[in-house]
Amino acid sequence: MSDFGIWLSILGMALVSVLARGFFLLSDQPLPMPAWAREALRVAPLAALVAVIAPELLMKDGALLGTWQDPRWPAALAGSLFYFWRRGILGCIVVGMTVFLFLKFALHW
């Protein structure tokens, strides 16, 4: 691909990104939206988070996990339990990473 093609691609992607993100700023009034779309937008951040985390927990090297002895499962469970107990993100991360690192380096999972 030539330099011109690369720069044209970058410019095109930037333009599409700006238009897609700034579309809702073009009007002074709220856009009419059906209730189902408003509800879908309300849960979109959670859906995106699950879409990022689920493959990381369920797959390794592009394939489903073949064993239960993977440190990611207990670490995710421990972090989730801590979060539901104390409602603290920092503690959730610390507990999850502590369990993960212990299982990975101490038990060689």
Query: What pLDDT score does 26 carry?
Result: 76
Distance CA 70, CA 91 (A): 22
Mean pLDDT of the chain: 90
Backbone angles phi, psi at 7, to 5 degrees: -65, -35
Distance CA 97, CA 100 (A): 5
Q: Return the percentage of the chain with pLDDT > 90, whole number.
A: 56
> Are 61 and 41 in contact, with CB atoms under 8 Å apart?
no
Give Cα separations from 90 to 21, 64, 75, 96 (angstroms).
30, 29, 14, 10
Query: What pLDDT score does 83 carry?
Result: 94
